[in-house]
Chains A and B, each alone.
Chain A
Amino acid sequence: MAATTGRPTKWALIWPFFLILALHSLAIFLFTRGFLLTRTELSSFSHCSDLSQPNSSNPCSFPSQPEPEPEPEPEPDGKCWTRPAVDRLVIILLDALRFDFVAPSTFFQEAKPWMDKLPVLQKLASGENATARIFKAIADPPTTSLQRLKGLTTGGLPTFIDIGNSFGAPAIIEDNLLYQLSKNGKRVLMMGDDTWMQLFPDHFERSYPYPSFNVKDLDTVDNGCVEHLLPSLQNEDWDVLIAHFLGMDHAGHIFSVDSTPMVQKLEQYNNILEEVIEVMRSQSGPGGLHENTLLLVMGDHGQTISGDHGGGTAEEIETSLFAMSMRAPPDAVLSVLDAIFCKVNLAGEKTCISSIQQLDFAATVAALLGIPFPFGSIGRVNHELYALSAGTWGGQRNSGKNCNSRSNLEEWMQNYVNALCVNSWQVKRYIDIYSVTSVIGLPSEDLSHIRQLYTHAQDNWSNITRSSCLAKNDIPYEDHGSLVSTLQKQIDAYSKFLESVATLARSAWTEFDLILMGVGLIVMLASLFVHLLAIRRVHVLCQSCYTAPTVSFISLRSIVVYLLVLMRGASFLSNSYILAEGIVANFLLATTGILNLSCSIADGKFAIEELLFLFINIILRLGIEFGISKQTAGSTSLSFHFLSILPIDKDHPVLIGLLEIFPIFILFVVAFVMFKCSSTLPCRRCIKFCFVGTVLSYILIAVHWVSESNVVNVYPELQDFGKNIAPRLVYAIGFGLLVLLVLSQIFYQKATVSDSTEKLAPATAAMVSAWSSAILILLGKRGSFVALICIGGAWCIIKSQKPATGRDITKGNSGVFFTDPVNITQWSLLAVCLFFYTGHWCAFDGLRYGAAFIGFEHFNIIRQGLLLVIDTFGVSFILPILGLPFLVGHPHQSTREDRAKDVPFFNLTKVFLSYGLITAVTTTFTIICVTIQRRHLMVWGLFAPKYVFDVLGLLLTDVLICCASLLYY
Chain B
Amino acid sequence: MGMRQIVEAPVVIGSHSWVRRNPKDCSLLKAAGRGLLSLPIGALLNAFGAIVLGAPIGIKYLARTAYWSLLMSLFTFVPAACVFGSSRIDWQHFVACDKPTEITDYMIYFPAYGAVVGAWVGAWPMPLDWERPWQEWPICVTYGSVAGYLVGLLASSVCILLYVKRPTHTKSD
Chain B nearest CB from A212 CB (Å) reads 36
Known: A574-B128, A576-B127, A580-B127. A587 touches B96 (CB 8 A): no
Contacts of A621 in B (CB 8 A): 54
Query: Contacts A575-B129, A577-B127 known; A598 to B95 CB distance under 8 Å?
Result: yes
* Contact present for A598 and B96 (CB under 8 Å): yes
Tell which of A580, A584, A594 touches B52, judged by Cβ atoms closer than 8 Å: A594
One of A269-277, A599-607, A954-962 contacting the partner = A599-607
Question: What is the CA–CA distance of A577 and B126 in the complex, to the nearest angstrom?
Answer: 10
Q: Indicate the member of B52, B57, B97 with the most A CB atoms within 10 Å.
A: B52
Which residues of A sit under 8 angstroms from B57, Cβ to Cβ? 622
What residues of B have a CB within 8 angstroms of the CB of A614 in the complex? 48, 52
A310 CB-CB contact with B under 8 Å: no
In whole angstroms, how far apart are the Cα atoms of A328 and B123 in the complex? 61
Between A586, A591, A598, A602, the greatest number of chain B beta carbons within 10 A of the residue's beta carbon is seen for A602
A505 to nearest B CB, angstroms? 26
Q: A576-B128, A579-B127 are in contact. Are A587 and B54 (CB under 8 A)?
A: yes
Among residues of B, the one whose C-beta sits closest to the C-beta of A600 is: B95
Q: Which residue of A lies closest to B116 (CB)?
A: A594
| C-alpha gap A599/B127 in the complex (Å) | 29
On whether A591 and B53 interact (CB within 8 A), knowing A574-B128, A576-B128, A580-B127, the answer reads: yes
Known: A590-B52, A593-B52, A618-B52. A583 touches B127 (CB 8 A): yes
Interface residues on B, range: 10 to 19
B120: nearest chain-A partner, CB-CB: A591
A584 close to B127 (CB less than 8 A): yes
CB closest chain-A residue, reference B127: A580
Cβ contacts B20-54/A at 8 Å (1 or 0 each): 00000000000000000000000000001101111
- Does B101 touch A at the CB level, under 8 Å? no
Q: Is A144 an interface residue (CB 8 A)?
A: no
Contacting pair B95 A602 (CB below 8 A):
yes
Q: Does B168 reach chain A (CB closer than 8 Å)?
A: no
Q: Is A617 interfacial (CB-CB < 8 Å)?
A: yes
Q: In the complex, what residues of A have CB within 8 A of residue B53's CB?
A: 587, 590-591, 594
B37 to chain A, nearest CB (A): 20
Which of A593, A601, A618 interacts with B51 by CB under 8 Å?
A: A618
Q: Counting CB contacts under 8 A, is B92 at the interface?
A: yes
Nearest to B49 among chain A residues (CB) is: A594
Minimal beta-carbon separation of B56 from chain A (angstroms): 8
Evaluate contact between B52 and A599: CB separation under 8 angstroms.
no
Contact of A601 among B48, B92, B123 (CB under 8 A): B92
A617 touches B96 (CB 8 A): no
Closest to B93 in A: A602
Nearest residue, chain A, Cβ from B125: A576
Q: How far is the CA of A454 from the CA of B139 in the complex (A)?
A: 53
Residue of A580, A587, A598 ringed by the most chain B CB atoms within 10 A: A587
| Chain A positions within 8 Å of B128 at CB level | 574, 576-577
Q: Smallest distance from the beta carbon of A619 to chain B beta carbons, Å?
A: 11
Cross-chain contact A590 with B129 (CB below 8 angstroms):
no
A598-B96, A602-B96 known; A586-B54 Cβ under 8 A: yes
The smallest beta-carbon distance between A933 and chain B, in angstroms, is 14
A-contact bits for B42-82, CB 8 A (1 contact / 0 none): 00000011011110010000000000000000000000000
Interchain CA distance A618-B127 in the complex, whole Å: 18
Least CB distance from B4 to A in Å reads 22
Nearest Cβ on chain A to B138's Cβ, whole angstroms: 15
Query: Which of B48, B52, B92, B129 makes the CB contact (< 8 A) with A604?
Result: B92
Smallest CB–CB gap between A79 and chain B, Å? Answer: 51
From residue 87 to 125 of chain B, which have CB atoms closer than 8 A to chain A? 88, 92-93, 95-98, 120, 123
**Cβ B54 vs Cβ A599 within 8 A:** no
- Interfacial chain B residues near A587, Cβ < 8 Å: 53-54, 123
A618 to B50, CA, bound (A): 10
Residue from B92, B95, B120, B123 whose CB has the most chain A CB atoms within 10 Å: B95
Chain B residues near A575 (CB, 8 Å)?
Answer: 129
A599 and B96 contacting across the interface, CB-CB below 8 Å: yes
How distant is the Cα of A593 from the Cα of B129 in the complex, in angstroms? 28
Give the residue name and chain of the B residue nearest to A602 (CB).
B96
Smallest Cβ distance from A449 to chain B, in angstroms? 31
CB-based nearest B residue for A577: B127
A135 to B95, CA, bound (A): 64
Q: Specify the chain B residue showing the minimal Cβ separation from A807.
A: B96
A583 touches B129 (CB 8 A): no
Question: How far is B48's CA from A618's CA once the two chains are assembled, in angstroms?
Answer: 10
- Cβ of B127: which chain A residues have Cβ within 8 Å of it? 574, 576-577, 579-580, 583-584
A616 to B136, CA, bound (A): 25
Scan residues 542-593 of chain A and give those whose CB is less than 8 A from a CB of chain B. Answer: 574-577, 579-580, 583-584, 586-587, 590-591, 593
CB-CB under 8 A from A598, the residues of chain B are 95-96
User: Is B92 a contact of A590 with CB atoms below 8 Å?
Assistant: no
Q: Is the pair A601, B52 in contact by a Cβ cutoff of 8 Å?
A: no
- A921-952 residues at the B interface, CB under 8 angstroms: none
Neighbour of B54 across the interface among A590, A602, A604, CB < 8 A? A590
For A588, give the chain B residue with the smallest CB separation.
B53
- CA of A622 to CA of B58, assembled, Å: 11
A586: chain B residues at CB < 8 Å are 54
Alpha-carbon distance A594/B49, docked complex (angstroms): 8
Contacts of B88 in A (CB 8 A): 604
Residues in A with CB closer than 8 Å to B92 are: 601-604
Contact in complex: B120, A601 (CB < 8 Å): no
Inter-subunit contact B129/A617 (CB<8 Å): no
Q: How far, in angstroms, from A604 to B92 measured CA to CA in the complex?
A: 7
Tell me how far the C-beta of A563 lies from the nearest C-beta in chain B, rounded to whole angstroms. 11
| B54→A583 contact, CB < 8 A | yes
List the B residue with the shortest CB-CB distance to A598: B95
Q: A residues 602-652 with Cβ under 8 Å of B?
A: 602-604, 614, 617-618, 621-622
10 A-B residue pairs with CB within 8 Å:
A575-B129, A579-B127, A580-B127, A591-B120, A593-B52, A599-B96, A602-B95, A602-B97, A604-B92, A614-B48
Other A-B contacts than A579-B127, A580-B127, A594-B49, 13 sampled, CB-CB below 8 A, are A577-B127, A584-B127, A587-B53, A587-B123, A591-B53, A602-B96, A602-B97, A602-B98, A603-B92, A604-B88, A614-B48, A614-B52, A618-B51
The 8 nearest A-B residue pairs measured at CB: A602-B96, A580-B127, A576-B129, A590-B52, A576-B128, A614-B52, A590-B53, A601-B95
